[in-house]
């Protein structure tokens, strides 16, 4: 198996990969421009170590993240999805993340209800000054996803 998880892969093939073995999960992170993305930046500038498995997508605000984004990432083969915004009360747009929090509360519970592993889709708050927190968060998410193994549910089967 290659360094990164393959983009298109059949469920059976995935099952042969040993969870926690050589496999590197692919994680999509939606980060708000004002806090979490800056936090990720700070983590980089500070040379804090975290797994190289993350594809960061910068969004203007965590409230911009539609549950469809998360579904689309999973359908396209992401093994994990992280959404992170400013801490409640710190939103650049005053209340964006508070509205988002309601949406994410439901999203999180709903996906688990269908049978999507809770480790797959995670939400967090990281501020611009929390480079350390960001790298810890990423390592936590990567470890969680590694534990549950490659995504099978919701992955679209394409040639």
Partner 1 sequence: MDRATIRKEDIPKLKGEGKFFAPGRKAGDATAFVELVEEPAEILYEYGNVRVPLKQVFFPQTEVLCEYDFDEITEVPLPTESIVVFGARPCDTRALAQLDAVFSPEYKGHPDPYYLRRRENSVVIALACSLPCGSCFCTVTGGGPADREGADILAHELGAAEPGAAKPGAAGSGDTLLFEALTDKGRALLEAHGELFAEAQAGQIETAQKAAAAAEAKVRELNDLGVDLGAELDALKRNMDPLFEDSRWSGLTDSCIGCGACTYLCPTCYCFDIADESRLYKGRRIRTWDSCQFPLFTRHASGHNPRTNKKERLRQRFMHKFSYAVENNEDVLCVGCGRCITACPVNLDIRDVIRAFAKGIQSEHVSQ
Partner 2 sequence: MDSRTEEIRQAARKLFAEDKIDLFIGFEAGTLPLRSRPCFISAREAGEDGAVERLVWDSFCANNLAAYLQKYHENEPNRRKPREKPYPRIGIAAKACDLRSIVALTKERQVQRDSLVVVGIPCRGMIDRRKVEAAAAAGAAADSAGGSAHPGPGGAPVEILAHRESEDGVLEVTLRGGQTLSWPREEVLQACCLECRLPAPEGADVVVSGEARKPGDGGYARIQEFEAKSLEERWEYFRGELARCIRCNACRQACPTCWCKECFAEQTDLKWIGVGTEPSDTMFFQIIRIFHQAGRCVECDACYRACPMGIDLRLYTKKIVKDVEEAFGYLPGFDPEAAPPLTTFSEKDTDSFITDPDKPAGAGGDGAGAGPAGHETHAKGH
For partner 1, the binding residues (CB under 8 A) are 7-8, 76-77, 156, 158-159
Please identify, using beta-carbon distances, which residue of 31 and 155 lies nearer to partner 2.
155
**Cβ neighbours of 49 (radius 10 Å):** 9
Q: Which of 4, 46, 105, 129 binds partner 2 (CB under 8 A)?
A: 105
Smallest distance, Å, CB 77 to partner 1?
A: 7
CA distance 44 to 73: 24
Q: What minimum distance in Å lies between the beta carbon of 142 and partner 1?
A: 23
Give strand pairing partners of 59: 32
Residues with Cβ within 8 Å of 39's Cβ and at least 6 positions away in sequence, in order, are 31, 84, 126, 127, 128, 129, 130, 131, 133, 134
The SS3 assignment for 82 reads strand
Look up tokens 């203007």; give the residue: 60
Whether the Cβ atoms of residue 85 and residue 125 lie closer than 8 Å to each other: yes
Select from partner 1, partner 2, none the partner in contact with residue 102, using the beta carbon and a kind-dependent cut-off of 5 to 8 Å. Answer: partner 2
8 binding partner (options partner 2, partner 1, none; Cβ < 5 to 8 Å by kind) = partner 1
Q: Which does 159 bind (CB under 5 to 8 A by kind): partner 2, partner 1, none?
A: partner 1
- Which residues make up the interface to partner 2 (CB under 8 A)? 67-68, 71-72, 75, 82, 88-89, 95, 98-99, 101-125, 133, 136-137, 139-141, 144, 147-148, 153-157
């Amino acid at each position: 198996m290659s360094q990164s998880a393959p983009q298109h892969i059949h469920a059976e093939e995935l099952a042969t990969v040993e969870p926690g073995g050589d496999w590197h999960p692919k994680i999509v992170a939606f980060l708000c421009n004002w806090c979490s993305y800056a936090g990720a930046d700070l983590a980089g500038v500070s040379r804090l170590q975290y797994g190289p498995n993350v594809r960061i997508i910068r969004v203007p605000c965590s409230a911009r993240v539609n549950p469809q984004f998360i579904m689309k990432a999973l359908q396209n083969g992401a093994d994990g999805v992280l959404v992170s915004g400013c801490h409640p009360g710190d939103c650049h747009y005053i209340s964006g993340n508070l509205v988002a929090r309601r949406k994410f509360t439901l999203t999180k519970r709903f996906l688990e209800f269908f049978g999507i592993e809770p480790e797959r889709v995670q939400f967090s708050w990281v501020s611009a000054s929390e480079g350390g927190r960001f790298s810890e968060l990423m390592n936590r998410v990567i470890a969680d996803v590694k534990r549950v193994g490659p995504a099978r549910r919701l992955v679209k089967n394409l040639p």
